[in-house]
Amino acid sequence: MKGLLAKKIGITNFFDEMGFSVPVTVIEAGPCYITQIKTIENDGYDAVQVGFSTKKKKRTTKPLLNHFAKANVEPLKMLKEFKFDNYKDLKLGDSLKVDIFSVGEKVSVTGLSKGRGFAGVMKRHNFSGGQQTHGQSDRLRAPGSIGQSSSPSRVIKGMKMPGRMGNKRVTVKNLEIMKVNVEKNLIYIKGGVPGPNNGLLEIVKK
C-alpha cells in the first residue's frame, strides 16, 4: 500500500482512447515530503509520515518546527502516515510525486465533504415531506412523528433529524486513474471525489 496527499483542483472532461468523453477530477498530488520514518524497533510498526502543502512558519508550533527541521523541509499543512513496501529505501526529506501511480490503477480517495450548514430532514435525509392536502399547511417539510408516547417514551438513538450536514470524512473507493502528468504533478481520476475545490485529499493505492 502506498499513497500521497493532494489538493483537488476541479472537474473537467477527458477523452479516452475510444473518443468517449469521461468526467474526471483533476488533482494536484504532491510533491509530498517524507518527514518521519517509523520502524518496528522504535515505534512498534512500520510507516512513512509524509507532508504536503507548505505554510508560514509563524503559523506553526515550535515542536512541529523542530520536527520539520530534522527532515530539512519547510513547514507543511497536512501530515499523514502511509505504508510503503520499500520504506527502507526512503530517506528523510525525500519527495514523492505522482509517478508512483500509473494509468489504469484503482485508488481510494478520502477527504472532507462539503459543509452544508444546518439542514432539515428533506435536504439532509431525502425525506418526502408531509402531504399538501386535507387542511395541512404548516407541516410540508416536517419530519413527522419521531417516537412513541407510551413505549419506549423516548427518541431512539440515531433517529434521522435536522442537523449539521456535511463536513465529514468521506472515502470513495475503486476510482480509476485516467491520466498522470508528472511534469505538473497532476493526476486525473475518473468520477468525482469528496470535498470542494482546493480541499485536501488522501490518495491510497492498495
Do 4 and 19 meet the contact criterion of CB atoms below 8 Å apart?
no
Summarised one tens digit per residue, pLDDT across range 143-178 is: 988 988 888 889 999 999 999 999 999 999 999 999
Cβ-proximal residues to 47 (8 Å cutoff; 6+ apart), any chain: 37, 38, 81, 82, 83, 87
What residues form DSSP beta bridges with 81?
49
- For 73, the grid coordinates are 523541509
All structural domains of the chain with their residue ranges: 2-127+160-205
Check whether 89 has a pLDDT greater than 80. no
For the chain, give the percent of residues with pLDDT over 90: 57
User: Chain centroid to CA 99: how far?
Assistant: 20
Question: What is the chain's Cα-based Rg?
Answer: 23
Closest CA to 170 of 106, 107, 108, 112: 112
Amino acid (1-letter code) at residue 79: L
Measured on CA atoms in the order 148, 149, 152, 155, is the torsion positive or negative?
positive
Q: In Å, how far are 26, 35, 66, 72, 112 from 201, measured between CA atoms? A: 12, 18, 25, 24, 8
* Model confidence, pTM: 0.83
Check whether 86 has a pLDDT greater than 80. no
Confidence of residue 114 (pLDDT cuts 50, 70, 90): very high
Alpha helices in the chain (DSSP H): 40-43, 62-71, 121-125
Cβ-proximal residues to 136 (8 Å cutoff; 6+ apart), any chain: 130
- The pLDDT of residue 2 is 83
Indicate the fold that domain 2-127+160-205 takes in CATH: Elongation Factor Tu (Ef-tu); domain 3 (2.40.30)
User: Chain centroid to CA 122: how far?
Assistant: 26
Cβ-proximal residues to 15 (8 Å cutoff; 6+ apart), any chain: 21, 22
